[in-house]
Amino acid sequence: MEISRQLGLEVETVALDREVSAGLIGPPEYAQRVHALWADLTEVHVAAAFEGAPWMTRIREVWAEIRGQGDYCAVISLSPSFFVERLTGWGAHAAYGSLFPAVPFTEPVDPAGVLSAEAKVRIADLLCEEFGVTRAECVAYGDSGSDKALFGAVPLSVAVNADHHLAGLATHTYMGMDLWEAYELVRSGR
């Protein structure tokens, strides 16, 4: 949404969001359609969208705490890879998003590179292997239906500002804008 806001395309993107939320289109079609909307996207737009996004507070502090404990943090999102990967600069060990071509776009988006709920679990498993941990040692945080499979794959999960469908699957729920508060729900039990 923040990228679309930079391009003045909020109305069109809200319509696409409604279609995907209603199950009328899936993530690959959404990615192809938003890619077409973003035909004029530049790195300046992406940087402005990233800086202007309504991020939760204390993300960097949570990730620094996790790193300080010798643990790992990763982000796996259906959002475009060129946006999500910027989060490694904030302290995430890894950041994966749906694979989009480089900005400015000179190639189409490949539907095979668009992530799904199941892909989130596959990537989490690869990260577990890379980091030398098991699913049993993981905590998943999520806010959308694409996190359902991941919540089912790990013992602890926190639904963050999520509707009742996802919150009902989580071991913990959090409503608010402070990641540290969400982290506190599981921190003491780890």
Q: What's CA 83's distance to the chain center, in Å?
A: 10
Reported as a pLDDT band with limits 50, 70 and 90, residue 159 is very high
Residue 80, SS3?
Answer: strand
Report pLDDT for 189.
57
- On average, the pLDDT of the chain sits at 95
Percentage of the residues of the chain whose pLDDT score is greater than 90: 93
Best CA proximity match to 78, nearest among 41, 123, 47, 42 = 123
* CA–CA separation, 109 and 61 (whole Å): 34
**Residue 81 · residue 105 · CB < 8 Å:** no
With beta carbons less than 8 A apart as the criterion, state whether 176 and 159 touch: no
Q: What is the DSSP string of 121-168?
A: HHHHHHHHHHHT--GGG-EEEE-SGGGHHHHHHSSEEEEES--HHHHT
Q: Answer yes or no: is pLDDT of 111 > 80.
A: yes
The mean per-residue pLDDT over the stretch 16-21 comes to 91
**In the predicted model, what is the mean pLDDT of residues 55-74?**
97
Residue bearing tokens 């890379």: 130
Calpha distance 116→120 (Å, rounded): 6
Average pLDDT of the residues in 19-36: 94
Walk me through the domains of the chain, giving residue ranges and CATH numbers: 56-187 (3.40.50.1000)
- pLDDT value for 63: 98
Long-range contacts of residues 95-100, Cβ cutoff 8 Å, at least 24 apart: 96/123, 98/27, 98/31, 100/31, 100/35
Task: Give the DSSP per-residue string, 21-78.
Answer: HTTSS-HHHHHHHHHHHTTT--HHHHHHHHHHS-PPBTHHHHHHHHHHTT---EEEEE
Instruction: Kindly indicate the confidence band of residue 163, based on its pLDDT and cuts at 50, 70 and 90.
Output: confident
Of 74, 111, 114, the closest CA to residue 94 belongs to: 74
Q: Name the 3-class secondary structure at 107.
A: coil
Residue 69 pLDDT grade (very low, low, confident, very high; cuts 50, 70, 90): very high
What's the rounded mean pLDDT across residues 143-157? 95
